[in-house]
Amino acid sequence: MRIIGGQWRGRKLPIVTAQGLRPTGDRIRETLFNWLAPDLPGARCLDLFAGSGALGLEALSRGAHEVTLVELNPEAAQQLRDNLAMLGRNNPQDLQARVIQADSLQWLETQPPTPYDVLFIDPPFGADLWSTSIDALEQHGWLSHQAAIYLESPADTLITVPKDWDLHREKRAGEVCYRLYYRQV
C-alpha cells in the first residue's frame, strides 16, 4: 500500500494478506481525500474496519489530529502497529494514533463514546455490516454534530442512512460505490 498525500506521500507500507482485506485503491483515496481536505486538519478520525489502514493512515498523513484504527484480524492489527511505529520513528510522541484489535461493532457498543469528526466505514463486503455500523454509531454517540462519514460498498448494495445525513458526494469505480455524507444535527 502506498500513501498518496501529506507528510508521508509516496511511502510504501506492507500489508498482510487476509480474507476480506481489500485496501481502498489509490484513485478512490485520492478523490475521497480531495473531498475531505477542509475537514482533516485537526480532526479526530475513526477507521472502523481498518484492514490495511489505507484510509486512517492517509488521514493521519494529511493532518488529522488523531486516528483510531479498529481491526478484528490480529495479524492485520499487528501490521498496523508496525506501520505506525515505522511512520513515527522520528517523532513517536507526535503520532496521535492507536490500533484497537477488536470486533468493531462490539467495540462501539461497549466502549465509552467520544465523538469523531471523520469516520470511515468500509467493512468486508461479504459481511453486510453497513446498517448495523450506522445504527451503532448513531445510537451510542460516536458522531460529532457535523461529522463526515465515508461509506464504501459494492455498487449494488442499498444502504439506508439517517435523515440527518446529507449526501455530499457519490462515485462509482468499477463494482465499488463510495459516498461521503455530512451529519447535520
Kindly give the parts of the chain with pLDDT less than 70.
Answer: 20, 90-94
Mapped onto helix, strand or coil, the DSSP state of residue 137 is helix
Distance CA 55, CA 45 (A): 10
The count of structural domains within the chain is: 1
pLDDT at 91: 62
Judge whether 28 lies within some domain.
Answer: yes
pLDDT at 126: 78
Judge whether 48 lies within some domain.
Answer: yes
In this structure, which amino acid lies at residue 56?
G
Distance CA 185, CA 179 (A): 19
Judge whether 127 lies within some domain.
Answer: yes
Judge whether 1 lies within some domain.
Answer: no
User: Residue 45's beta-bridge partner residues?
Assistant: 67, 118
Instruction: Please report, rounded to a whole number, the percentage of residues in the chain having pLDDT higher than 70.
Output: 97
Grid cell 481491526 — which residue? Answer: 71
Q: What is the CA radius of gyration of the chain?
A: 15
Domain at 94, CATH number: 3.40.50.150
Give the cell for residue 178. 463510495
Tell me the residue range of the domain where 119 lies: 6-183
Using one digit for the tens of pLDDT, what is the confidence trace for 91-119? 655 678 999 999 999 999 999 999 999 99
In this structure, which amino acid lies at residue 32?
L
Mapped onto helix, strand or coil, the DSSP state of residue 26 is helix
